[in-house]
Structures are given as C-alpha cells and as structure tokens.
Structure 1
Amino acid sequence: MNQNTNKTVLILGANSDVAKECIKQYVKKGFSVIAASRNMDSLRDFVAENRFDSKVTILYFDSVDFDSHQKFYDELPVKPHIVVYAAGFLVNNEKALIDFKEAQQMMLVNYMGAVSILNIIATDISNKNLERIIGLSSLSGVRGRKSNFVYGSTKAAFTTYLAGLRQELASKNVKVNALVIGYIRTKINEGLQLNESLIMEPDYVAKFIVNAGSSFTIVPNFKWKIIYYILKILPENLVAKLP
C-alpha cells in the first residue's frame, strides 16, 4: 500500500503548466490532489484526459480575491498535508513601468495573494495534517536587475516571506520550501527571447517540487544553481551591467 494514499496536496494556481505536471506526479505517488484555480474548465479537461477523476478534486480559487480566502479554506473537503502555491503573473518590465495596473497585478498574484491564503493555512491550529508548504519563486528575485526588477521584486518579497514562515512553523515540524526557478517552457514565458540552453521543461521542475526535501532554497538544474550563486555574490557594480 502506498504510504501517501491518505495524504492530500492542495495546489493553488493549479492551471499552470508546472502545476499540472505536479498533479500527475503527486497522483502517481499516491496522493489525493485538490487542484484550485480560476480556470476550472481547463482543469476539468486535464483531469478527464488523464483519467484522474477519483484522485483530483477541482475547486475555484482566485488568488487576488482576498476576502474569499478564509471561506475557501474553511470549505476544503479535507485539510491538506502539503500546500503548493503555484499561482503567478508576469508582464515585461517596460510594460510594468508605464502601466501600474499590470505591475499591481504581479504584486497581487505573486506576493499578496500568497501571503493572504498561506497565513490562513499556517495559522490553522486545528489542522494536524500539515507537513509542508512549497512556494514557487524565481531567480529574478535574487538581485534587482534593470530588465525585470518589478517582477523580481514580487518574487524577492515572496521568498523573504517563505523564509520567515519556515522559521515560524519550525516548532510545528512543518517544512517550508522556496523553489527558486529559472526559465521554464510554459505559457507565462511565451513570446520572450530566452536562452534555449537554459530553458527547463515543466515536468523536470515538477520533480523538484514533488520530491522537495529539507533545504529551504531549491534551485532546479545545475546551470541555474551556478547562476544563482553567482548572482548572490556578484558586486553591485557588476550586477548593474547585467541585462
């Protein structure tokens, strides 16, 4: 009998390409999945196509409708053992600089929505199931760079939040992980000019999420690990020369 048969994963922002791959891999490992997203039709098609009906529950979740988050959590069919926050929104920096509504949407989805729902989940003392919270962050949040600093700032804030949440929940033996991710071949990156040799596939990234260990920062792919550590130590005058 699979040891995960009675465990449930809640995936918030479950319509992303990476999240769908996570659903596949969690189901394969024996978990039940609650897939939450605004786009329920797409999830229904995905679940039907993969014949996951008995293992996946689809719920409506809007990361920026903060007032709905408590009700959403209270009405979950079962309280989760693992929570994955995979919701994300991206516009290019030029657009974010001249259109604050687009910049604001990134802040709302990538950071504020995450804090709103994860605070509710983390402070529920009645949930004895909770074992792990995983947030999908980005290499863009490691250092401020002129090409993407608005988006990067939302991911930097999210990573900092997760770091503090990890400390907050340590005494309860709840692990918190931040997936610090580089380029992925997904809908969110369509149309962007990216280095092909650095692009990761969604199923590859999903493996790092589903198999997350005890380390806080998880950087998939050795090339991105090198880039991550270089960015961390690079002097500011050299960071300013980066695109």
Structure 2
Amino acid sequence: MNQNTSKTVLILGANSDVAKQCIRQYAEKGFFVIAASRNTKSLKEFVTENRLDSKVSVLYFDSVDFNSHETFYGKLPVQPHIVVYAAGFLVDNEKALKDFKGAQQMMLVNYMGAVSILNIIATDRSNKNLERIVGLSSLSGVRGRKSNFVYGSTKAAFTTYLAGLRQELASRNIKVNALVIGYIRTKINEGLQLNESLIMEPDYVAKCIVNAGNSFTIVPNFKWKLIYLILKILPESLVAKLP
C-alpha cells in the first residue's frame, strides 16, 4: 500500500454509485481512501479503471456480519479521519409488508449495521485522527408515508441515531452529518417510475458528501430542500394524502 496522503477516509458500503464517486472525489482531494464492501471485485475494477490504485485500498466488509465488525476495524491499515456509511438496501413497500425477510434486510443494512460499526468507531478514543462521520439517509425517513414507510422507518432511525451521535461526539470536536437524499440515478432505483426533473446524479451527491460542512442535516439540491421543508411542516392529515 502506497500511502502518500496526510488524511484517510473510510467508506463503508463503497460499491454504491454514490460511494464510488466519493472514492474518486476524495482521492482527487488528496485523501487516501479505504473502500470497504462485500463486492470487492467490482470495487477493484473501478479503482483500476480510474487509475486510483496508489490512492485506494479495497477491503471486504459485510454490514450485517456484526460479529466481524470489531475485527474489521482493528485491522484497518490506518485509523480514519473521516468515515462515510453508504451501505443501503431497498425493497418496495408492498414486498416489505408481505415478506418480512425484505423488511428485515433493510433494517439490518440501513440501521443495525450502521449502528454496529459506527459505535465501534465512535467509541475508539485511541483514534485521535477522527474528525467526521457522514451517514447517508433519505427523504423517505422524514415522515411516514404509505408508499414507503417500512424503508423510511429504517432511515428515520438512522437519522435519529446520527443526531444523538453528533451530540455524543461534540465534546471531542468530531462532526456528524446526515445526508438526507432524494432520488438519485443509481442501480438501486432502476425500473422505478420517478420524476425525471428530481433525479440527481451520483457525482453531484458525492460532491455534497465530500464537501460536507458543519450543518447536521444536508439536503442536496434546492428542489429537495424545498420538499424536505414542506414534509417537515405538513399536518398529518395532508401527509396521509401523499402517495
């Protein structure tokens, strides 16, 4: 491993389209990137295609194999300055209602896996490098809506966890950000009937992650910011009429 940079970012669930763009953008900014995912083959191909071999280390990480998380973290080649939790799983609401396995997998990946590994990272006081933790959440978690409330509940739980983690780590001057994201042109949304004018590109969302500031909630794109604000203030009677 050729590490010539001063800071390191750990991306968990690094095989998503947004996460891959984060790898590229962090590397361009001079970070050394530890990209962790179950699909290391796809990650290695991406790294090679983008000529990032000297700037990226690819590791195996399974967000739902909780028993492996302590060992995974302990074996990292360097303690990270920034951690991005980008792992995610989605099944449609009808399937989640009828088949608990799908609902359970969303809970495991989107929330429980995040809490498991981030608790380990956040409580490691020996890591004097840690500056920031970023979690990828969703607009689906802002209010419960009948079209996606099972998935949304996992993201709502994750956002609440991140909010508390931000308070927990404030005394150590470690920032925590929640990216509250709308529709993205990614493989997870392939086949869905989405409003084209609201779809964001992965590289745009990645830029918001890489350039995260002090605010806890970050909502990329002004249209989604407006939707976020409307969802927050709508009375329940009107939310119930939404799809």
1:157 corresponds in structure 2 to 157
The C-alpha deviation readout for 1:184-241, integer Å capped at 9, x for no partner, is 0001101111000000000000000000000000000000000000000000000000
Where 1:83 maps in the other structure, the secondary structure is: strand
Question: What are the residue-to-residue correspondences of 1:109-124 with 2, within 5 Å?
Answer: 109-124=109-124
- Seq. identity, %: 87
Q: Which AA in structure 2 matches 1:184?
A: I
Q: Which AA in structure 1 matches 2:202?
A: P
Aligned counterparts of 1:135 and 1:112: Cα–Cα separation in 2 = 13
Shift in Å, 1:35: 0.1
Aligned counterparts of 1:35 and 1:26: Cα–Cα separation in 2 = 11
1:73 corresponds in structure 2 to 73
Where 2:223 maps in the other structure, the secondary structure is: helix
Shift in Å, 1:155: 0.1
Stretches of 4+ aligned residues off by more than 4 angstroms: none
Unaligned runs of 5+ in 1: none
1:138 corresponds in structure 2 to 138
The C-alpha deviation readout for 1:63-104, integer Å capped at 9, x for no partner, is 000000000000000000000000000000000000000000
Instruction: Report the RMSD for the aligned CA atoms in angstroms.
Output: 0.7
1:14 corresponds in structure 2 to 14
Aligned counterparts of 2:141 and 2:6: Cα–Cα separation in 1 = 36
1:59 corresponds in structure 2 to 59
Aligned counterparts of 1:38 and 1:184: Cα–Cα separation in 2 = 22
Aligned counterparts of 2:125 and 2:18: Cα–Cα separation in 1 = 30
Shift in Å, 1:5: 2.7
Aligned counterparts of 1:137 and 1:230: Cα–Cα separation in 2 = 18
The C-alpha deviation readout for 1:146-205, integer Å capped at 9, x for no partner, is 000000000000000000000000000000000000000001101111000000000000
Q: Does residue 207 of structure 1 match 2:203? A: no
Q: Which AA in structure 1 matches 2:113?
A: G
2:185 corresponds in structure 1 to 185
Aligned counterparts of 2:212 and 2:133: Cα–Cα separation in 1 = 10
Q: Does residue 167 of structure 1 match 2:167? A: yes
TM-score when normalising by structure 2: 0.98
Aligned counterparts of 2:5 and 2:46: Cα–Cα separation in 1 = 21
2:148 corresponds in structure 1 to 148
1:242 corresponds in structure 2 to 242
Q: Does residue 93 of structure 1 match 2:93? A: yes
Aligned counterparts of 1:155 and 1:236: Cα–Cα separation in 2 = 19
TM-score when normalising by structure 1: 0.98
Q: Which AA in structure 2 matches 1:174?
A: I
Q: Which AA in structure 2 matches 1:21?
A: Q
Where 2:200 maps in the other structure, the secondary structure is: coil
Q: Which AA in structure 1 matches 2:212?
A: A
Q: Which AA in structure 2 matches 1:107?
A: M
Q: Which AA in structure 1 matches 2:23?
A: I
The C-alpha deviation readout for 1:124-164, integer Å capped at 9, x for no partner, is 01000000000000000000000000000000000000000
Unaligned runs of 5+ in 2: none
Q: Does residue 224 of structure 1 match 2:219? A: no
Give the paired residue count. Answer: 240
Aligned counterparts of 2:24 and 2:71: Cα–Cα separation in 1 = 27
The C-alpha deviation readout for 1:103-129, integer Å capped at 9, x for no partner, is 000000000000000000000010000
Where 1:77 maps in the other structure, the secondary structure is: coil
Where 2:83 maps in the other structure, the secondary structure is: strand
Aligned counterparts of 2:46 and 2:159: Cα–Cα separation in 1 = 30
Where 1:129 maps in the other structure, the secondary structure is: coil
Where 1:164 maps in the other structure, the secondary structure is: helix
Q: Does residue 127 of structure 1 match 2:163? A: no
